[in-house]
Amino acid sequence: MVGRRTQLGLVAVGGAVVLALGVGLLRRATPPPPVVERPIRTVTALGRLEPVSALRTIAAPLSGAGQPILQALLVDRGDAVQAGQLLALLDNQPQLEAAVAAARAEVNLARSRLAIARADAGSGEDGQRAKVRSLEAQQRTAATEASRYQSLFSSGAVSAEERDNRRLSLDTVTASLQEARVLLARQQARSTAGAGGVDLDVEASRRVLEQAQANLQRAIAARDDNLIRAPIAGTVLQVFARAGEAPGAEGILQLGQTGRMQAVAEVYESDLPRVRRGQPVQITSPALTQPLQGRVEQIGAIVLRQNLINTDPSSNTDNRVVEVRAPLTPESSRRAARFTNLQVRVVIGP
């Protein structure tokens, strides 16, 4: 009886072992459920911060008289400037100012000659002779003044400028006297019936005045073009040259309108299908205390070589990228205004 019970127990144990093995084999044969990979919905790229408007490099004007030297720099890095504001002066500015003064003097002299010619057109030989006598008296007075101021200058009583002004007055009167004498000689050679020569003199004087006025305008334009002014309102971002230096190929300084900033991301060409206009953008950097926000506004149409390099030495440094521009929100622009050209990490989407 006991032996039979033992046999039955062994059979039960064996059946249990077989069942357990079968279940284990069945579990092994059943494949695990497939893992569904979630699609990547964001694009990450390196980028930089810069003003929305293009940066302006301010250079010295081209000059045929050699390389100009920076005489004075009137602004410095970080200064806010207005459009048209004077930024710097070059060392050839005094010569250009002197050229304007000389051209203006020529205009005044031409006007005097024209006035004389017009007056002579309505006067006879007697009137012209009286004019010559008047100019001769003026010349004697001017010569006396010039000689007196020369003596005063030699003794140190007056400046060189005052002495030169008296010399200029003498030269002007002398030139007018010479013109008046020439006109008197012409009138004396003409018959009293008139040959129309006086009218020709007026026309010639008028043309001389026009030429002098054109020369003055050219001198003023050359002087004004030599002044270094701000083409836009903005902030001085970089200074490349200081007083006493000759500006190089990089120019004098760089301006930018930092009131509106943007992130320029270099997106791999393989990631472009997942980038669309209007997508949100988050910008981070160790230099930023908190992320900046913006939205994609422009996707470049030219594939470029990557300029920004990842710090990972194993990364590919010869990738082809497209620039994606994302203007920042007003609050983010305010915080990013002092970080032009900062390298950042840009996350686009979803």
Task: Give the Cα separation of 26 and 18 in Å (integer).
Answer: 12
* Residue pLDDT, tens place only, 274-294: 999 999 999 999 999 999 999
Same domain, 268 and 315: yes
In terms of pTM, does the model score above 0.75? no
CATH number at residue 326: 2.40.30.170
- Burial class of 157 by CB neighbour count within 10 A (0 to 12, 13 to 18, 19+): exposed
Same domain, 315 and 202: no
Instruction: Kindly report the number of other CB atoms within 10 A of residue 136's CB atom.
Output: 14
Q: Is 34 a domain residue?
A: no
Same domain, 133 and 248: no
* Residue pLDDT, tens place only, 191-232: 444 444 445 777 888 999 999 999 999 999 999 999 999 998
Same domain, 262 and 195: no
Same domain, 106 and 220: yes
- 51 pLDDT above the threshold of 50: yes
- 18 pLDDT above the threshold of 60: no
Of 208, 225, 242, the residue that ends a domain is 225
* Residue pLDDT, tens place only, 36-49: 556 668 899 999 99
CATH number at residue 186: 1.10.287
* Residue pLDDT, tens place only, 291-337: 999 999 999 888 888 766 555 544 545 678 999 999 999 999 999 98
- 164 pLDDT above the threshold of 50: yes
- Indicate the range of 77-81, 173-177, 243-247, 312-316 predicted with least confidence: 312-316
Higher pLDDT, 106 or 192: 106
Q: What pLDDT is recorded for position 31? A: 62
Task: Give the Cα separation of 23 and 21 in Å (integer).
Answer: 5
Q: What is the largest CA-CA distance in the chain?
A: 177
Of the candidates 204, 180, 195, the one whose C-alpha atom is nearest the C-alpha of residue 116 is: 180
From its phi and psi, is residue 341 left (phi > 0), alpha (psi between -120 and 50) or beta? Answer: left
Same domain, 98 and 220: yes
Same domain, 274 and 249: no
Q: Report the number of distinct structural domains present in the chain.
A: 3
- Burial class of 11 by CB neighbour count within 10 A (0 to 12, 13 to 18, 19+): exposed
- 86 pLDDT above the threshold of 70: yes
**Which residues 6+ apart lie within 8 Å of 248 measured at CB?**
240, 241
Residue 296's domain spans which residues? 43-49+256-348
